Amino acid sequence: MTLNSNDWGDVRTMAILAQLPEAKLAMTATASGSNANLVSGNGDYLHGVSLADFAVTCGNLTGVSMWAPVQSECDLGTLANNIDQTLYMDEVYVNSMEFGYTTGANATENYGAETDQKMWLLNSGRFVNWEELAYADFSTGSGTIASGTTLAVFSDNSMGFLRTDSNGERGISYYDADQNEMLNYPVVSGSSAVANAFAMDGFNINSPSAGPYTIFVPSNITPAAGDIIQVLYASNSYTAAMGNQYFEILDSVYRPDMLGAVRQGQVEIYVVSATDSTLDNAWRLTACTITSDLTREPLSELGHLGPYDRPLTLPVPITATIDTTAGDLEHWSRFSDRYSEFAADTMVEIDLADLTASEDLKLVVKVFAQTDEEAGGTGASRVVDANSDLVGQQYFWNGTAGSYTAGGREYAVKTIVVEHLKITDEAYTLDMGTNATQTFGFRSTNDLYVVKGDIDLTSIQAGIRRSTS
């Protein structure tokens, strides 16, 4: 399957697909050792996602759950909850990603994924509900779910839970904070706790009635602070836990809610070397594409129809392509880490050996909320317009949160960093009737990081890694 979207300056889609822990998924406060997923080499904690997150299985389920409600025809384009049917897929694994930035078109953020099964939910099961119970909600050993809605009964007479345990039984997910482990447990009918399963009281398969229903934590689990219960189920309506609705307009001071897409005046590209003293926007670029192939190996075993896991094959390859309108040799000098000679007019020659000599270049993409015309400049010269919707919105600079004021500096809403670039190809094309073009191809492995907010040159040169805190 493919998930195609405009790049709208936020990292949440990638963070959810990478299954970041709840504390690191929020990304609303200044980054710290407890809530940050990334850290720079100079010690700044950063909110964001890395390619390595897609390989982490501790504390995560195998794959993510996805569902797509389809509105009734008469309600298309509205926020109405008149759902005709819902497509549901479980254990979905991301196997590729692509970030594309080009002139004359919106920036894109696309993902490829794979799974073994999908199902359509309709009639009494067409509403997919998601509930997450914090420790306080079940600290006594039980909690309630599905308030005001009736669970579906599937054709095999199982309750309408959408996740399954390792034996294919309908289940509920439990995150054990002490063990950093997420497991699906089956659900059985009962009015008290039992071992290795959730017991649920108040639901009769033969005569379903509306919730709330009481669920009992498996008796072999002792709830503790930080534990989480996740419940995903099909029912005949959206419940209060979903705000009694599914479609909702995003509106938050924690993200640029005026952005639906990003275009050329909001994107800046940099090629950074270890010797750079300033962050200079690369010029004459017409396109930049970053792709990564997250190859998955299906692991199967006798006795089970579907694979029990799809681990990521390491190392993860990254390719980057930069297209430019040909000018002078500035690009060659930057990619060869000889820009200082070029700028001083002391460079006499440059060749392929120079171009392939540098092995520690970094590609940096910064996405802004305003265009350069609205901001009155680029880079550090960008200023928040007095009439901009950014005023009062939150920004991040080196992981530290702040609020925009009129006339203050504008910071990037998202920064992409690809480290350890090695050039693989270069092409110069000149045709009759068109401008000459140059194309540069690069490769790297593993080191792709997407940071919420802006970071400075020092942090970029110091390198970024996953935080172990």
Could you report the per-residue pLDDT of 253-310, keeping only the tens digit for each?
677 777 888 999 999 999 888 888 888 776 788 999 999 999 998 888 888 787 888 8
Q: Give domain status of residue 336, yes or no.
A: yes
Statement: residue 364 has pLDDT above 80:
yes
Instruction: Please tell me the number of Cα atoms within 13 Å of 375 on its side-chain side.
Output: 22
| 305-333 pLDDT tens trace | 878 888 889 999 999 999 988 777 777 78
Q: Give domain status of residue 243, yes or no.
A: no
Lowest-pLDDT choice from 23-37, 297-311, 381-395? 297-311
Q: Give domain status of residue 247, yes or no.
A: no
DSSP letter for each residue of 276-342: -SS-----SEEEEEEEEE--B--B--TT-SS-SB-PBPSSPEEEEEEEEE--SSHHHHHHTT-HHHH
Q: Give domain status of residue 241, yes or no.
A: no
State whether 333 and 408 are in the same domain.
yes
Q: Give domain status of residue 118, yes or no.
A: no
State whether 313 and 404 are in the same domain.
yes
State whether 436 and 337 are in the same domain.
yes
Pairwise CA distance, residues 468 & 34, whole Å? 10
State whether 272 and 205 are in the same domain.
no
State whether 61 and 149 are in the same domain.
no
Most confident of 6-10, 239-243, 424-428, 451-455: 451-455
Q: Are 291 and 319 in contact (CB under 8 A)?
A: yes
Domain that holds residue 451: 1-77+94-112+252-469
State whether 66 and 7 are in the same domain.
yes
State whether 327 and 427 are in the same domain.
yes
State whether 444 and 345 are in the same domain.
yes
State whether 108 and 144 are in the same domain.
no
Q: Give domain status of residue 88, yes or no.
A: no
Q: Which residues contact 204 (CB under 8 A, 6 or more apart)?
A: none
Give the model's confidence band at 62: pLDDT under 50 very low, under 70 low, under 90 confident, else very high: confident
State whether 222 and 285 are in the same domain.
no
User: The tokens of 41 are what?
Assistant: 């080499």
Q: Which residues contact 9 (CB under 8 A, 6 or more apart)?
A: 255, 256, 259, 262, 266, 367, 368, 369, 413, 414
The domain total for the chain is 2
State whether 407 and 351 are in the same domain.
yes
Q: Which pLDDT does position 350 carry in this prediction?
A: 84
